[in-house]
Amino acid sequence: MEFLSLNILIFAPLIVAGIILSPLFPNDEIIVRRFAKGFAGLLFIYSILFMIFFKPHEVGYQFKENIKLFSDANWIEPLGISLSFGVDGISIILVVLTTFLVMLALIASKKAITTKHKLYYSLILVLTTAILGMVTSRDLFLFFLFWELELIPMYFLISIWGTGKKEYSAMKFFLYTFFGSLFMLAGILALNYFHVINTGVSTFSIETLTYSRHYDIPFMFEALIFFGFFIAFAVKLPIVPLHTWLPNAHVDAPTPVSMLLAGILLKMGGYGLIRFNTQMLPEMIKIFAPILIVLGVINIIYAAFVALVQKDLKLLVAYSSISHMGFVLLGLGALNVAGISGAMFQMIAHGLISAGLFLVVGVIYLRTKTRTFSQLGGLGQVMPKAFYFTMLLALASLGLPLLIGFAAEVMIFYGAFTSDSLEGFVLSNQVMTGLAAISIIITAAYLLWMLQKVFMGNMFEKWQKTSDLTPHEAIALTFLSIPIVLFGLYPEGITSLFLPFVDNLVSHFTL
Amino acid sequence: MDFLLDIKTAMLPEVIITFTILVCSVLCFMLKQEKQKFIYFISLLGVIISLISINLLAANKIFTGFYNSFSSDFFSILMRFLILSGTLFVIVMTKDYSFKFKHRQGEFYLLILIATLGGLLLSGANDLIMIFIALETLSLLSYALSGFLKKDKASNEAALKYLIFGGASSAVMLYGFSFLYGITGHTNLTEIIAYLTNNSSNMMFSFALLLTIAGFLFKVAGFPFHSWAPDVYEGAPVPVAAFLSTVSKVAGFAILIKFIGLAFNNTEAIGITLGLVALLTITVGNFMALNQVNIKRLMAYSSISQAGFVLIGFALLSYMGTSGAVYYLISYLVANLGAWLAITIFDTQTNKSLISDLNGIAYRNPYFATCFAVCLLSLAGIPVTVGFVAKFYLFHTIVQMGPAYLWLLIIALLNTILSLFYYLKVVKAMFVCKGADNGSKLNFNIGVLSTSFVFLTVLVVVLGVFVSPFINIARYSAVVIDNANTSAPVSVK
């Protein structure tokens, strides 16, 4: 086994979760937390090594792994299912984002989690395994398995440590995602079926079904497969009108879980859209690109307006998440290099920014026990550090130049504006881009108002003794700010990883 | 000496069980009340030896016994293995529970072993008469077992309900048998198949087959013959409920597969009827389970809907479908046994059976709750459990049958969401809901019960990872069924 093994990266968190849960492990909060945090730090460093040794210009997967059981060539030989992992341009960056945010979420857990520490930290690590497995799997069955596996820890994390109507929210999250995933299951089985009747071999390998599919699937079925995948990812992304689980889940989840939910789990929707709907079914995405763009614009505008009228700080951030994920759709619908890499970049940018914003919301809630704007105000006087960080995050979120959000939005707007994927549609790409651009003003409005209502103005007497950021929170926010500034100044640092992948992807459309 | 040879090659496990029954019945009279626990060990030993003896049977050939009315092939060996392992765990369940039987402990094991014998014979039966005898052995003993708590009203009600429903369905089945005999002139299944390959089938035959299948549907609690299940499961002693929902069901499915096999090269009508029955079974089971507050009733409806999934595999009327059904049956047996073990442990120690009684148990008995949750999630089809793979494989087989079966797939998929809802309800009660502070802490120390519970849970996960051997087994047994029904070798010794 080589030193850089994806197996270790994926399954180590699971093993550590088992160690933490085992009765032999001391049931002491500090030891459990430090152990988990230390491990997450190591995992992050380990994943960075993958990124360093990753060769962006090679087409296809790297660091390939294929675990075999018994003497079979595959994991489940009768069905042609393999336990195979690998990373390519778009998954390597999500792997690093995942380990990074897990580390920060664990750092932020100190104050937010007060009970059942062993269970909490092991569930977070199980979640890590599920997410890492999802982005690195080279097999549709495996992807689906991890997709479902992720629901279990998430359900418990929201329903046990959450606040408010946590059980309802957790159940809603679970059932929505499960509902979507069944459509994906049907799509996966249909892809396999057409492979079997055309080649006589049963396989679920993503590579085979993507690169060496030399037969045609009847149009109607291919469209159904496309929509099967699309619905699953639309729930996850989320796309209006399938978004209603998100505000509930975010508001009731504990802060670190919100960070992970917004930071990584929503990205799985975008990842799936690129990996399956775009890469695997290029013919279909050309036809259905208008739907993507229209839904994207609706997402952007609708969620921005809804965010504008929110009275709850966390709900505002949640709706801003939905609005920003609309950009991913807009970029994807452009079907050109700038658009798709913009979508990818937006996922990273939003992952960092929204995790930060949710952390700040958690910081404020922890101290004031309220998230209602009318109860807050003037906190900048007593929490200057929190104020600075929030301002940085909010400005990055609304797309201030030289911060990471700006780079993402510019790429997406450029891609969407120059694209001709809407040819023959009533509205041209340029009009749709213009519509989406309106949202920049709305976004600026609600984020700046948020800053004003929370941190500026007069302060209630009762917040006089509110303390500023603890070192833990400050460290987590600093860690988040570094890439936000760094890759805002130097976007190529990220884009160079997946640009060759996107180039290759787009070359299939233009053929 | 032919007869003895038959016994050695085809019916060794049955013989051992019969022998155990004889020993137990003698011991029942001989032992005093306080020593009756000894019978528990004897019956356990008998079942284990019988399980071992299954390995001595030749799996790759077909042996017949009792002048061709019993045939031992790979499929029947697999089913007998499942039945015996089910019985093993059911007997283990009675370890602490049996104090409720008072002075009749010994009888209980006697009855359960005879019922198992009926199940074993049923899974290899190859003759209408044999099928009827075996089925009635299983049924009559099940009625007696359901009413085993003599002084308990619910138990008596359960037995009576079961008896009346069972009698009616047996009559329907016999009516079907009479048609089958009338059409073909044979009672031996092999010869009936031979007749069918030489003569084109007609409506009458399909009708007879449907009547017969209705009788078996009662055994597996399929729609519309399911309504006995919840009351019986709730009223009967818990190990008996476990027996009915696992062993008895496996036996029912074993014979059902044989009969479905008759329809393989037959009419579409049976396939569509069965498909509808399967979907209704799942849907009705799920919808009824949604609002249950009693864990036993919930498990009853859950096992109705699970049976529906197995029936889907049959409805495809093909080798692929059968293999999906067999694999699903294996997964169902393991997870369901685990869940019933949990209920037995809980019921024995607290005498409660509401879902709300489980509130917060995860923080008093973490291992118990985790194991129970894994079993339930396997039934719901969540990875990484055998239930997930089984559902996936079953859906895979449906899709492989082509677009004509899309309706089956869609409704089955939608039902998985429904089922998730009520399984999660139990999991939620255990892990999320706040229990009473002085809530009862279960005694979950190392013992036979806890060990076998943990064993089953580990098995649920291990089977979810090591998948291919079992899919191969399921496929091979489906091939055996397929061959038996198409090539039709008539071999009379």
pLDDT in tens, A462-490: 888 888 889 999 999 999 999 999 999 99
From the list B377, B382, B399, the residue facing A190 with the nearest CB is: B399
Q: Which chain B residues contact residue A160 at CB under 8 A?
A: 431-432
Across the interface, whether the CB atoms of B468 and A190 are under 8 A apart is answered no
Residues 6+ apart with CB under 8 A from A424: none
| Distance (Å) of CA B179 to CA B166, B189, B191, B248, B268 | 20, 14, 15, 26, 20
Q: Which chain B residues contact residue A154 at CB under 8 A?
A: none
Residues 6+ apart with CB under 8 A from A451: A390, A391, A394
A23 Cα to chain B: minimum distance (Å)? 10
Phi, psi dihedral angles at A307 (to 5 degrees): -65, -35
Mean pLDDT of B269-298: 91
Return the pLDDT at B96.
Answer: 83
d(C-alpha A496, C-alpha A492), whole Å: 5
Residue A1 has pLDDT above 60, yes or no: no
Return the pLDDT at B177.
Answer: 92
- pLDDT confidence band for A269 (50 / 70 / 90): very high
Mean pLDDT of B33-43: 86
| Distance (Å) of CA A300 to CA A297, A321, A397, A435 | 5, 10, 13, 9
**A189 touching B (Cβ < 8 Å):** yes
Return the pLDDT at A20.
Answer: 93
d(C-alpha B473, C-alpha B427), whole Å: 32
Helix (H) or strand (E) holding A62: strand A62-67
Q: Which chain B residues contact residue A179 at CB under 8 A?
A: 417
Q: Which residue of B has its CA nearest to A158?
A: B432
Q: Which chain A residues contact residue B377 at CB under 8 A?
A: 152
Mean pLDDT of A143-170: 92
> How is residue A67 annotated by DSSP?
E
Mean pLDDT of B196-221: 82
Return the pLDDT at B485.
Answer: 66
Q: What is the pLDDT of residues B114-138, one digit of tens each?
A: 999 999 999 988 889 999 999 999 9
Mean pLDDT of A172-199: 93
Residue A85 has pLDDT above 90, yes or no: yes
Across the interface, whether the CB atoms of B396 and A151 are under 8 A apart is answered no
Across the interface, whether the CB atoms of B392 and A185 are under 8 A apart is answered yes
Q: Which residue of B has its CA nearest to A126?
A: B384
Q: Which chain A residues contact residue B468 at CB under 8 A?
A: 69-70, 72, 75-78
Return the pLDDT at B3.
Answer: 63
Return the pLDDT at A186.
Answer: 93
> Which amino acid, one-letter code, is at B15?
V
| Distance (Å) of CA A140 to CA A82, A134, A211, A274 | 9, 10, 14, 14
Residue B463 has pLDDT above 50, yes or no: yes
d(C-alpha A188, C-alpha A206), whole Å: 10
Q: Is B338:B486 a contact under the CB 8 Å cutoff?
A: no
Mean pLDDT of B315-331: 90
B397 Cα to chain A: minimum distance (Å)? 9
Q: Which chain A residues contact residue B417 at CB under 8 A?
A: 175, 178-179, 182
Domain tally for chain B?
A: 1
Q: Is residue B492 part of a domain?
A: no
Q: Which residue of B has its CA nearest to A167?
A: B432
Count of alpha carbons within 13 Å of B433, Cβ hemisphere only? 17
**B411 touching A (Cβ < 8 Å):** no
From the list A70, A159, A190, the residue facing B428 with the nearest CB is: A159
Mean per-residue pLDDT of chain B: 87
Return the pLDDT at A139.
Answer: 92
Q: What is the pLDDT of residues A230-257, one digit of tens each?
A: 999 999 988 988 999 999 999 999 999 9
Exposed/middle/buried for B344, CB within 10 Å: 0-12, 13-18, 19+? buried
**A223 touching B (Cβ < 8 Å):** no
B460 Cα to chain A: minimum distance (Å)? 15
Q: For residues B192 and A277, which has the higher predicted lDDT (pLDDT)?
A: A277
Across the interface, whether the CB atoms of A185 and B428 are under 8 A apart is answered no
Return the pLDDT at A490.
Answer: 92
- pTM score, two decimals? 0.94
Across the interface, whether the CB atoms of A182 and B475 are under 8 A apart is answered no
- pLDDT confidence band for B73 (50 / 70 / 90): confident
Can you list the alpha helix ranges (DSSP code H) found in B147-246?
A: 153-184, 189-198, 203-219, 228-235, 238-245
Across the interface, whether the CB atoms of B395 and A185 are under 8 A apart is answered yes
d(C-alpha A203, C-alpha A212), whole Å: 12
| Distance (Å) of CA B127 to CA A156, B135, B235, B351 | 52, 12, 34, 44
Residue A511 has pLDDT above 60, yes or no: no
Across the interface, whether the CB atoms of A152 and B416 are under 8 A apart is answered no
- pLDDT confidence band for B300 (50 / 70 / 90): very high
A282 Cα to chain B: minimum distance (Å)? 23
Select from A120, A189, A225, A231 the residue whose CB has the most chain B CBs within 10 Å, as the one to mutate to test that interface: A189
Would you give the distance in Å from CA A353 to the centre of its chain? 11
**Using alpha carbons only, what angle is made at residue A459 by residues A454 and A465, rounded to the nearest 5 degrees?**
100
Residue A367 has pLDDT above 80, yes or no: yes
Exposed/middle/buried for B492, CB within 10 Å: 0-12, 13-18, 19+? exposed
In the stretch 117-146 of chain A, residues with CB closer than 8 A to chain B read: 141, 144-146
Q: Is A364:A441 a contact under the CB 8 Å cutoff?
A: no
- Which domain does B14 fall in, by range? 2-486
Return the pLDDT at B201.
Answer: 64
- pLDDT confidence band for B284 (50 / 70 / 90): very high
Return the pLDDT at B488.
Answer: 44
Q: Is residue B493 part of a domain?
A: no
**B428 touching A (Cβ < 8 Å):** yes
Q: Is residue B119 part of a domain?
A: yes
Return the pLDDT at B267.
Answer: 64
Q: What is the pLDDT of residues B346-394, one digit of tens each?
A: 988 888 888 988 888 888 888 899 999 999 999 999 988 999 999 999 9
Q: Is residue B491 part of a domain?
A: no
Both structure tokens of B93: 């369940």
Across the interface, whether the CB atoms of B383 and A149 are under 8 A apart is answered yes
Residue A69 has pLDDT above 70, yes or no: yes
Both structure tokens of B129: 């008469």
Residue B5 has pLDDT above 70, yes or no: no
Q: Which residue of B has its CA nearest to A115?
A: B363
Across the interface, whether the CB atoms of B431 and A159 are under 8 A apart is answered yes
Q: Is residue B185 part of a domain?
A: yes
Q: Which chain B residues contact residue A196 at CB under 8 A?
A: 400
Q: Is residue B91 part of a domain?
A: yes
d(C-alpha B317, C-alpha B310), whole Å: 12
B470 Cα to chain A: minimum distance (Å)? 10
- Provide, rounded to the nearest whole percent, the portion of chain B with pLDDT above 90: 48
**B396 touching A (Cβ < 8 Å):** yes
Across the interface, whether the CB atoms of A156 and B466 are under 8 A apart is answered no
d(C-alpha A354, C-alpha A351), whole Å: 6
- pLDDT confidence band for B293 (50 / 70 / 90): very high
Q: Is residue B407 part of a domain?
A: yes
Across the interface, whether the CB atoms of B402 and A116 are under 8 A apart is answered no
Mean pLDDT of B151-171: 90
Can you list the pairs that B285-293 forms with residues at least 24 positions away whose Cβ atoms lie under 8 Å? Answer: B285/B223, B285/B226, B286/B415, B286/B418, B286/B419, B286/B422, B287/B418, B288/B230, B289/B419, B289/B422, B290/B418, B290/B421, B290/B422, B292/B355, B292/B422, B293/B354, B293/B355, B293/B356
Residue A176 has pLDDT above 80, yes or no: yes
Residue B493 has pLDDT above 60, yes or no: no
From the list A78, A116, A196, the residue facing B475 with the nearest CB is: A78
B420 Cα to chain A: minimum distance (Å)? 8
Q: Which chain A residues contact residue B431 at CB under 8 A?
A: 156, 159-160
d(C-alpha A352, C-alpha A360), whole Å: 13
The string of DSSP letters for B346-409 reads HHHHH---BGGGGTTGGGTSHHHHHHHHHHHHHHHT-SSSHHHHHHHHHHHHHHHT-GGGHHHH
Q: Which residues, in sequence order, are bridge partners of residue B71?
A: B64
**How many interface pairs between A and B have CB atoms less than 8 angstroms apart?**
85
Q: Which chain A residues contact residue B399 at CB under 8 A?
A: 186, 189-190, 192-193
Across the interface, whether the CB atoms of B396 and A174 are under 8 A apart is answered no
The string of DSSP letters for B104-155 reads GHHHHHHHHHHHHHHHHHHHHB-BHHHHHHHHHHHHHHHHHHHT-STT-HHH
Residue A456 CB neighbour total at 10 angstroms: 15
Q: What is the pLDDT of residues B386-435, one digit of tens each?
A: 999 999 999 999 999 888 888 999 999 999 999 999 999 999 999 988 87
Both structure tokens of A183: 């459509």
From the list A70, A167, A193, the residue facing B428 with the nearest CB is: A167
Return the pLDDT at B299.
Answer: 93
